[in-house]
Amino acid sequence: MWTLLYAGIALACFLVWRRGYLGSGQRNRARPWITGWIVQLVLNAAWTPLFFAGFPVIGEASWWIAAVIIVLLLAVVLWLILGARRWSRIAMVVMIAYALWLAFATTLNIAVIALN
């Protein structure tokens, strides 16, 4: 599933970047959205090893930190969905699918905390 999501996320960024492109040497109009996209990528990259490999290193705290990160990630993605409306409907739909998957992953993260 993650492979499809990452491909879609990359496509969404490309579509928004392309719609905001004004030409060589000019600042892309979609730069704030693209910055948010980079933030979500960093949060996503931080969550995965922390949730799956953090327990042996720092114990149960890794799940709590991962929960905070994934909630922040979901919030950023929701902001990206709202912003994508302006640039590309396809990008918006892809980001909605990503948000739904993140909501599922968030419930799993919280369930691991609750059940342990």
70, 102 contact by CB (below 8 A): yes
Which residue range forms the structural domain that includes residue 65? 2-115
Rounded CA-CA distance 29/69 in Å is 28
Contacts of 25 (CB under 8 A, 6+ apart): none
pLDDT in tens, 9-55: 999 999 999 999 998 889 999 999 999 999 999 999 999 999 999 99
pTM here is 0.92
Domain count, the chain: 1
Asked whether the predicted pLDDT for residue 2 surpasses 90, the reply is no
pLDDT in tens, 43-93: 999 999 999 999 999 999 999 999 999 999 999 999 999 999 999 999 999
